[in-house]
Amino acid sequence: MATRRHPLARLESRIPDCEACPSLREYCASVAETKRRAYADCTYWGRPVPGFGDHDARILIVGLAPAAHGANRTGRMFTGDRSGDFLFAALHRTGFANQAEATDRDDGLVLRGVYIAAALRCAPPANRPTPAQLDACRPFLVREFDLLRPRVVLCLGGIAWGAALGVLRARGTPIPVPRPRFGHGASVDLAGLHLLGSYHVSQQNTFTGRLTPPMLDAILERARARAATG
């Protein structure tokens, strides 16, 4: 007897077919065709990238967007680039992942207690999404909020922070004025949900020491503690 797929699994299967932003689809496909020399032998994903992780997670991690030669290549968020190397090493150290490496969709990585999504599901040129692109992609994040019902949303960077607030606004949650400001360690409780900020795991932060492994580990432990208390 066939078992019903989890609603998140159904959402994950639909996201790669999204055509809301033709210019982004064209850009991702172009990157997949030209490739980077180091990945010349790889078959790129080249489509919108779905979220992934524990479907019963109480912590939702929101990133910016797939990297052109990272998730746009591998088809899994934060997989196959330096940002992901930093993030998954931290998730492994803090017990949220079974391994520290993330190279491809079949590498055996399993997440426990966290689900990873993004403000934008296509790799944007220069890694800079436009407001219109973020607006078009918001329904996916809204649906993930609805299905997961997370207790904690960990936002990696200011764009993810803004996207999470946009989702809450779309769901009818009153947003304080002035709007809660992003910062590393920033936090706010809104409608039973704890919003937590961290600098993004991009190389411009991790290579310069603006974000260090202990700093990210501490944020992840804060997220765990808050998710446990509700």
- pLDDT single digits (tens) 160-216: 999 999 999 999 999 999 999 999 999 999 989 999 999 999 999 999 999 999 999
Give the confidence band of 3 by pLDDT, cuts at 50, 70, 90.
low
- pTM beyond 0.85: the answer is yes
Residue 230 has pLDDT above 80, yes or no: no
Mean pLDDT of 2-6: 68
- Please, are residues 74 and 105 in contact by the beta-carbon 8 Å criterion? yes
Percentages (nearest 5) of helix, strand, coil residues in the chain: 45, 15, 45
Closest CA to 159 of 209, 119, 201, 213: 119
Collapse the DSSP code of 131 into the 3-class scheme (helix H, G, I; strand E, B; otherwise coil) and give the result.
Answer: helix
Question: What is the reported pLDDT for 30?
Answer: 97
Q: Give the rounded percent of residues in the chain with a pLDDT score beyond 90.
A: 96
Domain ranges of the chain: 7-229
Give the confidence band of 2 by pLDDT, cuts at 50, 70, 90.
very low
Mean pLDDT of 74-86: 97
Provide the residue count of the chain: 230
Which CATH fold topology does 7-229 show? Answer: Uracil-DNA Glycosylase, subunit E (3.40.470)
Closest CA to 160 of 178, 126, 186: 186
Give Dmax (Cα) for the chain: 54
Residue 107 has pLDDT above 60, yes or no: yes
- pLDDT single digits (tens) 112-157: 999 999 999 999 999 999 999 999 999 999 999 999 999 999 999 9
Question: What is the reported pLDDT for 1?
Answer: 41
